[in-house]
Amino acid sequence: AQKVTQAQTEISVVEKEDVTLDCVYETRDTTYYLFWYKQPPSGELVFLIRRNSFDEQNEISGRYSWNFQKSTSSFNFTITASQVVDSAVYFCALSEEGGSQGNLIFGKGTKLSVKP
Amino acid sequence: DTGVSQNPRHKITKRGQNVTFRCDPISEHNRLYWYRQTLGQGPEFLTYFQNEAQLEKSRLLSDRFSAERPKGSFSTLEIQRTEQGDSAMYLCASSLQSQPQHFGDGTRLSIL
């Protein structure tokens, strides 16, 4: 069965702190994609990143970085020097593109509050 | 490049009524997805179109739900005989082939 677990329901930090959002996934497929989406209070899901299962290289984009480890089935997301505008719900998602049509399986999300 | 557009943004209706939502995907995106999101949960997949063909339906999509994409462009999602449990945010997403999905703002359905 495919499953995405985001164990942290809510996280609160003070501006400029670093914060890591955890994501653990389960899948039987060898070919799959992992995603992170941001959902600000306005409601629209904003795509942040996609990684395929064959690329374990970590990625950095500005203050955002992602750590993909197949050995622990984890795809964690770190925000460095957090800002108030980072406050949102963050979703990790899995797509088994190899076998299905690519519908996303989401975790329950982690609500991040960044206080000034 | 305009984003995914959903209408209406908010729908309030009485239990037992039928409702229809519309989604206009990003132009040239051949794939269109519908998801449902309840409070405190992640989106759950409902159904998926490639062009005008509905290729996959979740078991969450009961007989009261029907989705169409008649010309491979916009899509509609209809819920018949609405129930209290249908209250949720209905999200539409589109993508070009297997590229990442881009989501609309959603339609929030409230059942009185």
Q: pLDDT (tens digit, 9 = 90+) per residue, A4-44?
A: 999 999 999 999 999 999 999 999 888 899 999 999 988 88
- Residue A99 in this model has a pLDDT that exceeds 90: no
Q: Are A41 and A98 in contact (CB under 8 A)?
A: no
Q: pLDDT (tens digit, 9 = 90+) per residue, B48-98?
A: 999 999 988 888 888 999 999 998 899 999 999 999 999 999 999 999 887
pLDDT of residue B13: 97
- Residue A80 in this model has a pLDDT that exceeds 80: yes
Beta-carbon separation of B56 and A44 below 8 A: no
| Cα atoms in the 13 Å half-sphere on the side-chain side of B92 | 31
For residue A42, the chain B residues in CB contact (below 8 A) are 105
**Cα nearest neighbour of B5 on chain A:** A44
Q: Which is nearest to B82 in space by CA: B58, B43, B109? A: B109
Percent of chain B scoring above 90 in pLDDT: 83
Q: Which is nearest to A82 in space by CA: A20, A6, A9? A: A20
